[in-house]
Structure formats: C-alpha cells, structure tokens
Amino acid sequence: MRTMSRRRKAATISVSVAAGLAVAAVGSYAVVRAIPAEFPLVYSEKIEPGVTQAVDIADPATALTFARVDTGAGPTVLAVTGYADHEITGVDINAAAGTAFTDPIAAFDTLGYPALQEIATDTALRRATVSSAEVLTAIDTHSDHIGTGTNYVEHQAEATIEEPYLFPKVGALTDSNEPLPAGEGGLLDYEVELGLVALDDITAETGTPEHMGLVLSNDWTDRELLVSQIEVDNLTGGAGFTNAKSQPGFFSTGDLFVIPADWQSYYKDLELDLFVNGDLRQRAHPVDMVWDAPTVIEMVLTIGDRTWDSDGEQIPLTPEAGVISRGTVIQSGTPEGVIYRAPDTRQRFLGFMEWAGSLGTNAESVVASALDVYVRDAHEAGVYLQPGDEIVTRAEGLGQIFTTIVPGPRSETE
C-alpha cells in the first residue's frame, strides 16, 4: 500500500512538474514572441547632394570606357570621354572607324586596345552627348551567367556561411534605369556586385586573360523564395540560389562598360556604393574579396559538369563545362549590408519552440522553423524593399544604376 501511495505521489509530482514546465515554456514563448525583431543597418551615411550627376571616367591609357546608345537606326557604341550633369559624352566608334559595331566587346575584339584608345583621345573627332538615362544595356550578350556567394568576410558573418561558393545566374541583363517590380509576396533584397565580363572564351588552356571587362551590377534576390529552397545543412551547395536570383529583372547593370589596360590592378582600386532612399546600405571594396578575381575564374573552370536545381530544372554553371564563354558576366560577390541576416537568438528560440510544439510537423528541421520565423518577422516589420523605394548603385570609374521599385508581379514561379 505504501509503495503504491509513493508511486501515485511521484506520478502526481511528475505531472505537476511537466505542467509547470509547459506553462513556463508557453509563457517564455509569449514573452519572446512579443519582443520586436531587429534588422540592424551597417551604415548611417547619406548620399551626397549632386553626387549622381557625374562619374569619374578613367584616362583611356588606364581604361577604355564604353556606352551603348540607340541612334534610331540601331545601337552604336561610344568611347566615353566624360560623364557630367547626367549626360554621357563620347566618340561614336562606328562613325570614327567606319564600322557597324553594336556592342563594345565586338569592337574591342576587332579593333584592339591601342586603336580604341586612339579614337577616344583624338580631339579632332566629333563628340556625341546623350542623357545617361537613355543608354542601353552596357553590353549585348546571352543569358547564361555566374554568381559568387559570400565572397566578403563580413557578409559571411551576417549570412553565417564560412566560405565562398558558385551558382548559375540565368537571365537577361537589364539597363541602368529599368524599374523593378516588387512582386506579389516575397522579400526583395539588393546586392551590389562587381561584374567580371569575358571578352573571349576562357578555358584552362587560355588561362587568366590579359583583358577582362568590368560592369557594375545588382544581384537582386527574393529571400523568401531562397530560404524556402536552400538546403540548410549544405548552404554552400547553392540550392535555391539560381531560382531566387534569376527572376525577371534581377540583373540590373550599370550605364558604362569598362575594359582596363591592367584589369587586375584596376578592379582592386574600385569602391562600389549602394543607397536606398538616400541611405548608404553597402560599400564594396573588391580588393577585400576572399577569392580574388583570378581565383573566381579558376574556380569556375574547375567546377566540371555539376548542375544546380532551379525550380525543378537542372542548370549547369556554364553551358559548356570548363568554358566561360564570351559575354559571360561573373558576379563576384557582395559585401555586408544586405537586408538579410541569418536568424538571431530570438528567432532560433521561437523556431525551436514552434517546431517542438508542432512535434516537428511545421518544418523539416529546427533550422527551417527558425527561417520561417525570420520570414514572418521580416514581413511584419516591412524592412525589405517596397514599391516606391529608390536604389542608387554607383562607382567612380565604373558607372551607375538607378532602380525604382514598382508595384506588380515579378515572376510566374513565385
């Protein structure tokens, strides 16, 4: 009798403790859930008045600068000599050389650096001036490109990914003044990036090229789409990145195209800024990349025939394994300051509680549950890009991008 009494008492105590723990857990969850989510910014700097009116143009001995413009009879290429008061000035290469190039890569491959430098510096040749808002995409190329993830140490920290990685970036380039639809749902984020452009096919046999093109770019991302498709136990595998970064309009490019005489020195001196509604959000110094540009090229060439899943379709890094084809843009990575941050302690706690409370039915894992909490917080806080936001991306010696976020659907795959 005494034994049974002790057992009943122990069971009662156990039930009471369990109930108390459950009440405490629910109470803790409620307290933590009520704490506002934090989305910290890295910078507090404002854009300087009038700074977007002009861009410093390199001396042609240092770098050739180009812009594509529409003559009414088709595109032509300017050897740019000035950029001031929102106007780009340069020599029409076709008028000067009696050619019919519609793309600066073709002009460079045919005429070469010395001839184009001579055209740009010949004061006897007539200059044309166009509004910077009216230029075409900096190059006319295909849609198979390459992205590089977490190639700056500070961005690795905010994304909690410890090494760079590659993924296919598929899509047409958009020009420097193209509006971007916010999409129906999703979390729209920005990423300022330096684009490395192949001027001819690059292979292991050709080695690091003597000349590369450079272009300013923005690697827009739908973060909600991305976190719904990534492999949380293999982040550098790149799953989900191609789809989330290859939606229509997600490849904004600058108004200028630059071919330096010594590209490996030139790119390291660049500073790339991105502003949202006049507030500095990102500042990139490509000299700080974890993989420098030649290493990025080398890694692309060694990836082989691996493919990445993009919305059910298997996409290779390059259409031909081991070949970076002419006109391919390699986005070399973004620095710190994107809107996205890996789930913080609060979100991880809530994710665990929701996963445990649902007996693991709300998400595939605790990490995935924490990501769901992050997405919910981000929607509630409204911190991602919204219709009406104005994004300015710029770099002296490279060009500018002006993007207005507008209402409307973005993609059929959302």
* pLDDT-above-90 percentage for the chain: 81
Q: What is the pLDDT of residue 21?
A: 39
Q: What's the whole-number mean pLDDT along residues 161-173?
A: 95
Which residues lie across from 259 on neighbouring strands?
Answer: 64
d(C-alpha 386, C-alpha 189), whole Å: 10
Q: What is the pLDDT of residues 107-144, one digit of tens each?
A: 999 999 999 999 999 999 999 999 999 999 999 999 99
For the cut 90, the answer to whether the pLDDT of residue 22 exceeds it is: no
Residue 322: Cβ within 10 Å count: 16
The pLDDT assigned to 411 comes to 57
Whole-angstrom distance, CA of residue 37 vs CA of residue 25: 20
pLDDT of 3: 54
Span 13-31, average pLDDT? 57
- Percent of all residues in the chain with a pLDDT value above 70, rounded to a whole number: 92
Q: What is the pLDDT of residue 237?
A: 81
Q: Which domains does the chain have, with CATH numbers?
A: 51-134 (no CATH), 144-406 (3.90.850.10)
Q: What is the dihedral of CA 128, 133, 136, 137, to 10 degrees?
A: 130
With cut-offs at 50, 70 and 90, classify the pLDDT of residue 193. Answer: very high
| 311 — pLDDT class (breaks 50, 70, 90) | confident
Q: Is 222 helix (H, G, I), strand (E, B) or coil?
A: strand
Residue 25 has pLDDT above 90, yes or no: no
CB 398 within 8 A of CB 174: no
Coil, strand, or helix at residue 46? strand
Residue 4, pLDDT above cutoff 60: no
Is the per-residue pLDDT at 280 higher than 50?
A: yes
pLDDT tens-digit profile of 213-235?
A: 999 999 999 999 999 998 888 87
Instruction: Find the range with the poorest average confidence among 13-17, 84-88, 135-139, 327-331.
Output: 13-17
Say what angle helices 345-357 and 366-381 make with each other, to 10 degrees.
120
pLDDT band for 96, please (50, 70, 90 cuts). very high
Q: Is the pLDDT of residue 26 over 70?
A: no
DSSP classification of residue 333:
-
Residue 414 banded pLDDT, cuts 50, 70, 90: very low
In the structure, what pLDDT confidence band is assigned to residue 7 with cuts at 50, 70 and 90?
low
Considering the chain, what is the average pLDDT of its residues?
92
Evaluate if pTM is beyond 0.75.
yes
Grouping H, G, I as helix, E, B as strand and the rest as coil, residue 252 is strand
Record the tokens describing residue 372, joined without a space.
Answer: 């769901």
pLDDT of 34 higher than 90: no
DSSP state for residue 188 in the 8-state scheme: E
Whole-angstrom Cα Rg for the chain? 26
Q: How far apart are CA 215 and CA 225, in angstroms?
A: 27
Distance of CA 214 to the CA centre of its chain: 15
The stretch 64-86 carries a mean pLDDT of: 96
Buried b (16+ CB within 10 A) or exposed e, 54-74: bbebbebebbbbbbbbeeeee
pLDDT in tens, 281-291: 999 999 999 99
Report how far Cα 269 is from the mean position of its chain's Cα atoms.
20
What pLDDT digit, counting tens, does each position of 361-390 carry? 999 999 999 999 999 999 999 999 999 999
1 has pLDDT over 60: no
Which segment of 54-63, 152-161, 324-333 scores lowest on mean pLDDT?
Answer: 152-161
